């Protein structure tokens, strides 16, 4: 039974990785194109997925979970950059070519939910409103910078991109408790 489970996991992983590649290059791909590229039979595909939409939903959910691990507790910018870098072609297609817009909409929604959870302990409504607004601005700036970085073929090292982002924000640690910056961790990965 263990071998069969491993084979099923391998097959589903192959289908999902092929789907990510197709979403990146041919977002309107057909099931036939997917099956040919993955070298999987139609019967095998329908054993695990109801249809293309179900498959894309499953793939998006896996990608969302992998990304959201990077932002648990606090939005670790260096970890976010690393996770995006690991799937650079996919994120470039999503951000710059507008492929799989459902993924990005859901990602931002989940990030917002986490931000709201983090701010829920704040009893001062005005402070919570300001920090929410500031988080939205910082998060929007982050994704705009990422889109540009990906469009320019990741012309900066990840550490340089983080430094650039910090410089753009002109981060000053004084008064963080009163701003949306408190929700972010700007430390490089090597300083952890």
Nearest-angstrom CA–CA distance, 74 and 77: 9
* Domains located in the chain, CATH noted: 1-49 (1.10.10), 60-191 (no CATH)
Distance CA 129, CA 46 (A): 47
CA distance 144 to 148: 6
Closest CA to 188 of 73, 78, 71, 86: 78
The pLDDT, as a whole number, for residue 133 is 94
pTM for the structure as a whole = 0.88
pLDDT given for residue 73 in this prediction: 82
8-state DSSP, 185: E
Q: What is the CA radius of gyration of the chain?
A: 19
Q: Give the pLDDT of the chain (192 residues) as one tens digit per residue.
A: 455 689 899 999 999 999 999 999 999 999 999 999 999 999 999 999 999 999 999 999 999 999 999 888 889 999 999 999 999 999 999 999 999 989 999 999 999 999 999 999 999 999 999 999 999 999 999 999 999 999 999 999 999 999 999 888 876 655 556 678 888 988 898 765
Rounded distance between C-alpha atoms, residue 85 and residue 92, angstroms = 10
Helical spans, DSSP H, in 69-183: 77-86, 88-96, 101-119, 125-151, 158-169
Residue 105 token pair: 């909409």
Give the pLDDT score at 1.
45
Within 10 angstroms of residue 115's Cβ, the number of other Cβ atoms is 20
Residue 170 has what pLDDT?
Answer: 72
> Which residue, 8, 4, 32, is CA-closest to 18?
32
């Amino acid at each position: 039974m263990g071998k069969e489970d491993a084979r099923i996991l391998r097959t589903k992983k192959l289908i999902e990785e092929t789907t990510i590649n197709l979403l990146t290059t041919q977002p309107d791909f057909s099931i036939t194109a997917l099956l040919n590229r993955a070298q999987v039979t139609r019967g095998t595909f329908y054993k695990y997925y109801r249809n293309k939409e179900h498959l894309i939903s499953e793939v998006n959910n896996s990608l969302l979970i992998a990304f959201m691990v990077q932002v648990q507790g606090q939005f670790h910018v260096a970890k976010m950059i690393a996770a995006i870098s690991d799937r650079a072609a996919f994120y470039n297609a999503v951000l710059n070519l507008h492929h799989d817009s459902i993924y990005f909409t859901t990602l931002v929604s989940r990030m917002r939910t986490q931000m709201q959870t983090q701010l829920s302990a704040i009893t001062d409504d005005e402070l919570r409103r300001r920090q929410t607004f500031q988080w939205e601005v910082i998060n929007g700036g982050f994704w705009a910078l990422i889109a540009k970085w990906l469009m320019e073929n990741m012309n900066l090292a990840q550490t340089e991109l983080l430094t650039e982002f910090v410089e753009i924000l002109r981060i000053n640690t004084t008064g963080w408790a009163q701003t949306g910056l408190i929700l972010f961790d700007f430390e490089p990965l090597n300083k952890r």
